[in-house]
Structures are given as C-alpha cells and as structure tokens.
Structure 1
Amino acid sequence: MLHKKEYFENMVNEPRNPSHWHAMFLDKSVPFNADAKAAFLYDSSTKSRQFLYPVAKVFARLSIVLMQFFKIFIPNLINAPKMLHKSLFWGMKYFITPEANFIILRHFYLGSEVLRFIKDNVDGSTDIPMNPLKPLGVSDVKDNLFLEHDLNLYNFIINLNKAIEEKGLKITKKEKPDFSAITAGEIPFREFRDGWTNFIDLGTAIEIFTPVYQFYLTDNDFWRATNSLQLDEVIGIYAATIMDCPEKLTALNNKHPMIPLPTAGAAFRLLLHGFSTEVLHALLVQGKLAKIEST
C-alpha cells in the first residue's frame, strides 16, 4: 500500500535546516492516524503543492465566481452527477498522487463509521436509515460517491433530530460506548495507480475539482454541498457528548454551521472537513483501544 510513515520515521533531523513536515509528523498533540498523517504530510510537501497550488487556486476560484454569476440566470441548465463522478474518477485515477487518493477514500470510509458510531450510541435510534459508503478503490467514485456523502450527512442529522423530537431520544454521555462501527486497524484499499502523470497533490486537486463540481451540478446542489462542509461541529458535538470530551473539539475548524460562507472558499473548507473527520475518527479509535485494554 503506502509506506510514507517509514519515510518520516527514518528521516534524519538537520538542526540548521529542520523539516516542517518532519516536525508535524512527530507531534502528537492532535490525534491522527499515523499512516494517514504521513500520507497527508508527504503529499503536502510536494512541488505540486508548493508551486502549482497557488496558480491553480487563483484560476479555480475565479472560475467559481464567474460560474456563480452565470448560474444566477441559468441555475438548473446542467444537472449531470454521473458525468461529474466519471470526471472525478478519471482525474483521481490518472492525475492525483496515490497519497491524495488514499486520503480521499479514507474520508468517505471514516465518515460513515463516525455516523454509525453516533447512531449506535443513541438509545432508541435503531430505525434511523443509514447508507454507509466504504469505497476500497478509486473506481467506486463512479457510484455518485461525493454526492451521496453529502446527502448522507444531511439526512442523518435530519432523521436523528426528528427521532429525538418525536420519540424523546437523547444524545448523552455513555459510560461504555459501543465502538463496533469503528475500524482500528488498516483499511484494505486496493492499490492506487502511481504513474508519471499522478503528480497533483490533494490541495491542488480539490481546487481544480471544485469548479468542475459546480459546473456539473445545479446551483442548489452545489450550494448545499458547500454548506455541508460546515457541519463538522454538529457531528463533533454529538460524538464529544457521547464520549464526554468537549475539549477535544478544538481541532474542528469548520465552525458556524448556521452561517453560509462564499462558495469560492469551498476548496479550503473541504480540506478542513477532511482533517476534522480524521481527528474525530482518531479520537474514537483511541477510545476503542482504551476500552479493549481495560477489559
């Protein structure tokens, strides 16, 4: 699979020229899966991230603003989610680094596990419908993966809170949380392509893909998708209440879910969204391992 963890573990520090990425990998102040952290930091240290990202960012955000202007008059002209996901699949397979693809697929997998963890620990919520997304290869993206992920998040919050209101359910601290939904080991992803064209880092890829996402969806669908990025705090509060660790929410950065933000900055907020999911899942993994050790 990926072996970037060994890359950082074997890195020799030069006191007169220390590596930012090395320091961040060794720092354990924020919980993060070691393999995912190594992949993310390695990907962030590439020439693509340093030189291509600033250029792509300018053109991508300008494209979003211009497209938003045109969609004032033709908001529903294009609605092609299948074509969108085929485009994302080809871009991911042939142009994005293996590390970036690893992080992207982990996000969907972990997100589904976090939602299931919350459901499993709210008494009386067994009839809330779930649609777990656990892709193991880039080809799984073609099944409307990105769009389904957004819908899952909204539908879970809506269905959970309807059940809370109608059935009197409560999200409360659990003395012994059910961690059965959480994967503590390695996720068996299929091998990622690593050809000479797979050079685009995660941050640059997200900047490029965001206007593509906007182009193929209706204005309402794109608006809803970008607003979903601010629901991290909502999900974080649910999980932190169950775990009784509200102080851990400091790592969740997409704040203020009731205040919509400009769509032009959606790509950066998507990076924060992925980071927050990794941190929250790592907290749950820590809880699961601590529970196993205590038994």
Structure 2
Amino acid sequence: MSKKTSAYLNAIANDNSLPIEQAALDLWLKDLQNPLRWGVRPLLQFIFAMLLHIIWFFKRLPLPQFSAHKHLQKLICWFCSHFVSREANLLILRHYATESNILNFLAANSPGSPANPVNLYPKSIADMQHASFVDHDQELFRLFAELGSWHHPEQPLKPTELSWQQWQPIDMSSFQLTEKRTQWLDFESAHALFMCLFCLLLTREEYRDAINGFNLDQSIAKRIADLIGDNTLTEMAYNKYPHYLVGPWNLGQRFLMHGFFTEHLYAYLEQRRQRQEQ
C-alpha cells in the first residue's frame, strides 16, 4: 500500500484474521480506491435501487412472466468487457471458482449418495456467457436438492478422509482479460447497474430465488463445519436463515458479503488442503 493510502486501508491490508488469499485482498483494496466507488456509486445505488423496486413491483403483478437468459448473459458480458475494471472482473471470475470449489467439497464429503459436481470455472469474460450467472444460482439449488436433508455426523471426518477430488485451486495467471481504456467501473457500481437487468430479464420466481440464495451461506458453513469439526465457520456467513425469504432491499450489501463469504471459506479450505498435502 502507498503512503497516501488511509490508515484504515493500511490496517486491513495487513489483517488476515479472516482467511483470504493475497490476490483477492489486493484486488479488493485496489477496487476500494477507485474514485468512482466513492463519488458515483452512491448516486447509482440510490437511482437503481428505486428502479429495482419498481421493476420488482411490476414483476409481482399477475401478468404473464418472461425471461431472456441469453440476452441477459450477452449484455452483462459486453458491459464487463467494455466498462468494468480489471479488478472487478477478476473478482467476478474468482467468485465462480471459490463457490464452485466450496460446493464441490461439500458434495464430495457429504454422507450418503454424492451429488453431481459443479463445473462453473470460467477463465474469461467470454466464458461467462456459458458459465451462466443464471446457472450459478441454479447449480447451488440443484446441489442442495440432491444432497437432501442433512444428517449431522457424530464425528467430523479425519483429515485423511477428506476428499479434494473436484477441488481446483485458483491460479490467477489462468484468467484471460483484455483491458480497455473504458474499463473504469468499480465492482459495487457495476452490481448496481446489473441488479435491475437481472430483475427485468428473469421471471419473478427466478429472481426471488436468486436474491434469497445468499441465505444458504449459513447452511453451507454449518455443513462444512460439521464435516471438519470447526464450528467457527458459521461466523463467516453474513447472510443467514434461508427459510426467511427477503426482497431486494439492501441487495448490494448482501451480494457483496456473499462474495466475501466464499473468498474466506475458500481460503480456509485451501489452507487445510495444502497442510494435508504437506
């Protein structure tokens, strides 16, 4: 961090109390110093939060439902490749990998019949047209349905019993991004623009499910905590209580904290995997 960086940012640049990979921390700290985050983002979030609630209201009316997944994917990928900063794009690509790894670890080590693994590991913006934002949510719901009711194991698994078969460590050099001069938008400002598009181009049930899927973070943490014997993992989950369905209020913060949750839990599990290999 530079000497001109604030005292607080210098502090969190050296705080690893919660596990996080240095690459993710560096990207986030750079994104935090994007001037647009502090100047433009509050205005964007205010305007688009109002628009989001208007779209949400009309989607809840007893009208014919429609969705346009392909158009949604193309618009998001086009916008990312032209206007979203390199740091934000890398954080988005990392999120696919962190969550896929966590879900695959859970599937591989859960008692009973294993669920089919999640295979969403895009390496570029173009890949995200296929590793769909929609599939990202639907794969989570599929996995939980296939795992079924959770039977809390009497004893956690021994380190040698843990399966890492589907685990894919994140290699930052594998991500392929072409930078453009127009790519200046920070992570949170980009999400403020995306959230209205999602609400419009998904059916009301798809969108409602997507914004409530964050609340499964607590369930994921609890299940993995049971498997490895560390009950502190549930403290990483900001989004909780999946049986309580919510609307789009405070969506930006809940979305961001979901991203932090997967980064923290991925880093924690990756550290355990590396210790086991050694």
What TM-score do you get using the length of structure 1 for normalisation?
Answer: 0.87
Matched, 1:202 2:202: no
- 217 and 75 in structure 1: CA distance in 2 versus 1, 3 angstrom threshold: farther
Deviation, structure 1 residue 125: 2.6
Deviation, structure 1 residue 170: 4.9
Which of 95, 107, 110 is residue 122 of structure 1 equivalent to?
110
Q: Report the residue type matching 2:135 in the other structure.
A: E
Note the 1:175-194 alignment, pairs <5 A: 175-176=158-159, 177-184=162-169, 186-194=171-179
Matched, 1:96 2:84: yes
Which of 47, 60, 64 is residue 48 of structure 2 equivalent to?
60
Deviation, structure 1 residue 141: 1.5
State how far apart, in whole Å, the 2-side matches of 1:75 and 1:20 are.
Answer: 49
- 206 and 185 in structure 1: CA distance in 2 versus 1, 3 angstrom threshold: closer
In structure 2, list runs of 5 or more residues that go unmatched: none
Which of 217, 230, 241 is residue 215 of structure 2 equivalent to?
230
Deviation, structure 1 residue 255: 1.4
State how far apart, in whole Å, the 2-side matches of 1:212 and 1:19 are.
Answer: 37
Q: Percent identity, aligned pairs only?
A: 24
SS of alignment partner, residue 177 of structure 2: coil
- 28 and 51 in structure 1: CA distance in 2 versus 1, 3 angstrom threshold: same
1:214-243 deviation per Cα after TM superposition (whole angstroms, max 9, x unaligned): 111111111111111111111111111112
SS of alignment partner, residue 148 of structure 2: helix
Q: Which moved more, 1:268-277 or 1:17-26?
A: 17-26
Which of 146, 165, 168 is residue 159 of structure 1 equivalent to?
146
Matched, 1:279 2:277: no
State how far apart, in whole Å, the 2-side matches of 1:171 and 1:90 are.
Answer: 49
State how far apart, in whole Å, the 2-side matches of 1:79 and 1:197 are.
Answer: 29
State how far apart, in whole Å, the 1-side matches of 2:253 and 2:86 are.
Answer: 20
Corresponding residue number in structure 2 for 1:255: 240
State how far apart, in whole Å, the 1-side matches of 2:100 and 2:260 are.
Answer: 15
Q: Report the residue type matching 1:100 in the other structure.
A: A
Corresponding residue number in structure 2 for 1:3: none
Deviation, structure 1 residue 118: 1.2
- 274 and 206 in structure 1: CA distance in 2 versus 1, 3 angstrom threshold: same
Which of 224, 242, 245 is residue 239 of structure 1 equivalent to?
224
Matched, 1:212 2:200: no
Matched, 1:289 2:274: yes
State how far apart, in whole Å, the 2-side matches of 1:286 and 1:179 are.
Answer: 12
CA contact (8 A) 2:107 2:116 kept: no
State how far apart, in whole Å, the 2-side matches of 1:285 and 1:172 are.
Answer: 22
1:238-282 deviation per Cα after TM superposition (whole angstroms, max 9, x unaligned): 111112111132121111211112213222211111110000101
In structure 1, list runs of 5 or more residues that go unmatched: 1-7
State how far apart, in whole Å, the 2-side matches of 1:76 and 1:224 are.
Answer: 18
Give RMSD over aligned pairs.
2.0
SS of alignment partner, residue 196 of structure 2: helix
